[in-house]
Amino acid sequence: MAAKLIKGTEIREEILEEIEKEVADIKEKHGVVPGLVTILVGENPASISYVTLKIKTAHRLGFHEIQDTLSEDLSEEALLDLIDKYNNDDSIHGILVQLPLPKQIDEKKILNAIDPDKDVDGFHPVNVGRLMIGGDEVKFPPCTPAGIQEMIIRAGVETKGAEVVVVGRSNIVGKPIANMMLQKGVGANSTVTVVHTGTKDLASHCRRADILIVAAGVPGLVKPEWIKPGACVIDVGVNRIGEKISEKTGKKIAILSGDVDFNAAKEIAGSITPVPGGVGPMTITMLMKNTLKSLKLRLGII
Ligand code: NAP
């Protein structure tokens, strides 16, 4: 295998240890810890497992964590009241509403009701605007793109002047990571191209990429011959392509694949993220980092 593996599982551990130390230090000096509330409405199994993992990670880091689990028929008004309560609670620095929400609740209205200074997911229009401006304006970069950038930095990949091609233009991955990579600053300062279903010749753009970030949700979309030899390939895609029986638990589990033909791509790329174990573990990690940052901003220590 030619490419260096960029392992999200290892980078996650490095970052969580850094956060853990900082939390202990702030607790000793200031007598406070980061507070994170996760709000789950209904019983979507995927949402329950995400929220459980978030709470478990927050707990491990010594955060003050609250999990509010509410019934599927909750009214929009009741959810808005709850958000208002946490917006005004000084022990809470991050508010996370797990999506999707039941159909009687307008997601946009809910996300917009979160205090932008507690919006650790970075989805509030104010934080989207701050991200666009860049520099010191940025408070909470959205977690998956922030994780991608952190992986590129920690893998030692040169970004200044690099040709970055982003496949996908979603509001949660493609657009924000493209915006982050073009800003002046560490882990950025790149020349960015964004491609999507309206792009005429996807392959020719991908072939130019020194850093290829793929977030399309199409298994095997990026062919090995589209990869520039030595490029850094970040595969964000998580696609269920089948099921198998877990050797550990004996239970059925999903077989996951990325958007890149990994086995062939790893022989051409300089570095590459696997799926699973690549970008996936970074998202919750960056959520924790944003929550810690929210507390530090409140304390005026950054
Ligand atoms: P999304 O909202 O469905 O957006 C997909 C984007 O890819 C769209 O902009 C779409 O173009 C583009 N696209 C789709 N098929 C394409 C094709 N054949 N050629 C060119 N462009 C194409 O998806 P998302 O939320 O960004 O997620 C993308 C993938 O990342 C999914 O597999 C998701 O599960 C994964 N993901 C992983 C994490 C994580 O690991 N933590 C987090 C978020 C997402 P148009 O705009 O033209 O339709």
> What is the per-residue pLDDT across 197-229, written as a single tens digit (0 to 9) for each?
999 999 999 999 999 999 999 999 999 999 999
> Ligand 1 in contact with 219 (CB < 6 A)?
no
Mean pLDDT of 1-20: 96
Determine the residue of 238, 262, 282, 285 to mutate for testing ligand 1's pocket, defined as the one with the most ligand atoms within 8 A of the Cβ atom: 238
Round the CA-based radius of gyration of the chain to a whole number and report it.
20
> Which residues, 6+ apart, have CB-to-CB distance to 52 below 8 Å?
none
Token reading at 64? 């003050």
d(C-alpha 136, C-alpha 125), whole Å: 17
Cα–Cα distance, 37 to 222 (Å, whole number): 38
For ligand 1, is residue 177 a contact (CB within 6 Å)? no
Strand 271-272 with 163-167, pairing: unpaired
Is the CB of 236 inside a 6 Å radius of any atom of ligand 1? yes
The reply to whether ligand 1 has any atom less than 6 angstroms from the CB of 145 is no
Please write the tens of the pLDDT for every residue from 247-283.
889 989 999 999 999 999 999 999 999 999 999 999 9
Of 53, 197, 282, the residue with max ligand 1 atoms within 8 A of its CB, to mutate for a pocket test, comes to 197
- Residue with structure tokens 């810690």? 292
295 pLDDT more than 70: yes
In the sheet with 35-41, reading across from the earlier edge strand, the strands are 64-70, 35-41, 94-97
CB 27 within 8 A of CB 62: yes
Instruction: Quote the pLDDT of residue 287.
Output: 98
pLDDT above 70: residue 169 = yes
pTM score over 0.75: yes
Is the confidence at residue 1, as pLDDT, over 80? no
CA of 214 from ligand 1 middle (Å) equals: 8
CB of residue 144 inside a 6 A radius of ligand 1 = yes
> Would the pLDDT of 2 be above 90?
no
CA of residue 47 to ligand 1 center, whole Å: 19
| 171 Cα: distance to centroid of ligand 1 (angstroms) | 10
Mean pLDDT for all residues in the chain: 97
Q: Which residue from 171, 194, 196 has its CB within 8 A of the most atoms of ligand 1, so it is best to mutate?
A: 196
Residues in Cβ contact with 159 at an 8 Å cutoff, skipping those fewer than 6 apart: 152, 153, 181, 187, 188, 189, 190, 211
For the Cβ of 169 lying below 6 angstroms from any atom of ligand 1, the answer is yes
Pick the atom of ligand 1 nearest to 283's CA.
41
What is the three-class DSSP state of 198?
Answer: coil
Pick the residue whose CA is nearest to atom 24 on ligand 1: 170
Using CA atoms, how far apart are residues 222 and 212, in angstroms rounded to an integer?
A: 10
**Helix ranges, 186-301 (H):** 202-207, 262-265, 282-299
Q: Which residues are catalytic?
A: 54, 98, 121
